[in-house]
Amino acid sequence: MFKHGKKDVQKTLFDQDQSFPGYVMDMLQKSWADDFYRFIFSQINEERFSVLYSDKASRPNKPVNVLVGLLILKMEHALSDEELIGSLYFDYRYQYALGLDANDNDDRLCVNTLSNFRARLVEYELQTGESLFQQEMEDLAENMAVYLGLNKSKARMDSSLINSSCKNMTRIELIYIILSFAIW
C-alpha cells in the first residue's frame, strides 16, 4: 500500500537540533545537508513511484522520498549500503537532509529496505522499460538547472572528445593536440 512521506517537517521542542548551540546550527545550515533538503529531498515526486506498490490494504511502505534521497546520498558519497545506514544513524546531517526525527521509530530503516526498493525499481524497469529513478533524477536536474539559471543550450565539451582516436595517440601527441586547441 503506497503512503506519501513527509515533505515539510515541523520541528518540535524535542528535536535533537533544538539543543544545538547557535554556531553548530549555523554550521548545519551551511552544510550540504540543508541544501540537499531544500533542493533535492523536498522536490522528489513520490507519486511517480506509487506504481511499485499494491493498491490492496497492506502494511504501508517506507517513505519513498527518504528511500530515493538515500540512494542519491549513497551515490554522491560513494558509500556501501551498510555505510549509508551507519551514516544515517550516526551522522545527524543525513537525518537533517532527509527530514527525519532521530526519536521517531517509524523512520527506522535497514539495509534490506534499500535492497527491496532497488529490486522493485529494477523489476518495474524490466517489465515496462521505464526507469523511474532515472526519470526522477532528470526532473531533479531540470529543477536544479532552472534554479541555478543554467544555459542548457551550451554543452560542456570534455577534453576526451577533442580527437576521436586519442586512445591510439602517444602522450606527447595527446598533449600537443590539447595544447593546440587550448591556444587556438
Q: Which residues contact 42 (CB under 8 A, 6 or more apart)?
A: 7, 8, 99
| Domain match, 61 and 112 both | yes
**Interval 157-180: pLDDT, tens:** 555 455 556 666 777 877 877 777
| Domain match, 36 and 100 both | yes
| Domain match, 140 and 78 both | yes
**Distance from C-alpha of 45 to C-alpha of 128, rounded to nearest angstrom:** 19
- Give 29 or 60, the one with higher predicted confidence: 29
- The total of structural domains in the chain comes to 2
- Range among 17-26, 41-50, 93-102 with highest mean pLDDT value: 41-50
- Write down the pLDDT at residue 14: 46
| Domain match, 182 and 121 both | no
Instruction: Cell numbers for 1, please give them.
Output: 500500500
* Crossing angle for the helix pair 81-90 and 64-77, to the nearest 10 degrees: 110
Domain extent for 158: 154-184
| Domain match, 135 and 184 both | no
Residue 4 lies in a domain: no
| Domain match, 113 and 57 both | yes
Tell whether the model's pLDDT for residue 123 goes beyond 80.
yes
Taking CA atoms, 86 is separated from 15, 70, 97, 153, in Å, by 20, 12, 15, 41
Biggest CA pair distance of the chain: 67
| Domain match, 86 and 67 both | yes
| Domain match, 90 and 117 both | yes
**Interval 67-82: pLDDT, tens:** 999 999 999 999 999 9
| Domain match, 163 and 138 both | no
Q: What's the alpha-carbon Rg for the chain, to the nearest Å? A: 21
- Please compute the mean of the pLDDT values over residues 31-59 and round it to a whole number: 85
Instruction: Cell numbers for 102, please give them.
Output: 532521530
- Please compute the mean of the pLDDT values over residues 104-111 and round it to a whole number: 73
Straight-line distance from the first to the last Cα atom of the chain, in angstroms, rounded to the nearest whole number: 60
Task: Specify whether the CB–CB gap between 83 and 73 falls below 8 A.
Answer: no
Which is nearest to 89 in space by CA: 77, 100, 78, 75?
100
Task: Specify whether the CB–CB gap between 94 and 73 falls below 8 A.
Answer: yes
Count of alpha carbons within 13 Å of 26, Cβ hemisphere only? 3
